[in-house]
Structure 1
């Protein structure tokens, strides 16, 4: 059955890793979202959305980013959210959770010794958290082998 997927990530490596998951999305309606509007060119004809970035370093931007993400969720109405991080997608997971949206957090491949800070929080919000590293598998964090 065809699903409406929101594939969302912050910029840089998070978005690059998300794009590497594209083969898993085949046959579904996929909307891509990230913080850099110029990333539209990387998704071809797929629907694309951008939103304001926020991090621990500029936490005061959190309300505006939250509004951006809320508007995005209302527009897209995803059945599934897939993300590779970081903070803005975590907001999406929190906002979508009460509505029963299935969510998958794929922790960054760069985190080989410990789960990312956002990944640790995602364990409480995501339907499933996956790590790339077998040594990081733990209760609430699965290792499915090499995902990326």
Structure 2
């Protein structure tokens, strides 16, 4: 059975991630987010990990978050990683590449004018880089519709 790790920060990123989780019902689904206590999880979720919330304005928390994400991915050894973003998703895309997972970055629908900073950085690492806005497609970024 394929193991999928779905990861995002809380808020809108998490809502969008949960909306695509039914696509992984036939997989072993591991979820990771910045919620301290486990949020409502899909029935197909077999495990949940909490990592520290961080942003570019707190470099020490970013380092801690990166270490936590790398440890989760090393432990779980997912076949595929999907993220809807923020820094936690960027670390997962990078770690996933290092550990041999196929990776998908789906940029948040909130990013209408341009791909997010994490999304722009993830473009160099993700196997599939997606936007939810058709006017943001490039040779590396694809559009297949919106989640919300």
Structure with the larger strand share: 2
Cα distance between partner residues in 2 of 1:86 and 1:41: 18
Distance 1:41 1:34 in 2: 9
Q: Alpha-carbon deviation of 1:10?
A: 0.9
Question: How far is 1:95 from its partner?
Answer: 1.7
Moved more, 59-68 or 5-14: 59-68
Q: Which residue of 1 is the match for residue 41 of structure 2?
A: 43
CA deviation map 1:97-121 (0-9, x unaligned): 1232100000001111211111111
Classify the secondary structure of the residue corresponding to 1:109.
coil
Higher helix proportion:
1
Number of residue pairs matched by the alignment: 146
Q: Partner of 1:100 in structure 2?
A: 100
- Please tell me whether the aligned partners of residues 109 and 146 of structure 2 are also in contact (alpha carbons under 8 angstroms): no
Report the Cα distance in structure 1 between the residues aligned to 2:42 and 2:25, rounded to whole angstroms: 14
Matches within 5 A, 1:1-148: 2-38=1-37, 40-45=38-43, 46=45, 47-148=47-148
TM-align CA RMSD: 1.4
Equivalent pair of 2:9/2:89 in contact (CA under 8 Å): yes
Unpaired runs of 5+ residues, structure 1, are none
Q: Does structure 1 retain, via aligned residues, the 8 Å contact 2:131–2:141?
A: yes
Question: Structure 2 unaligned runs (5+)?
Answer: none
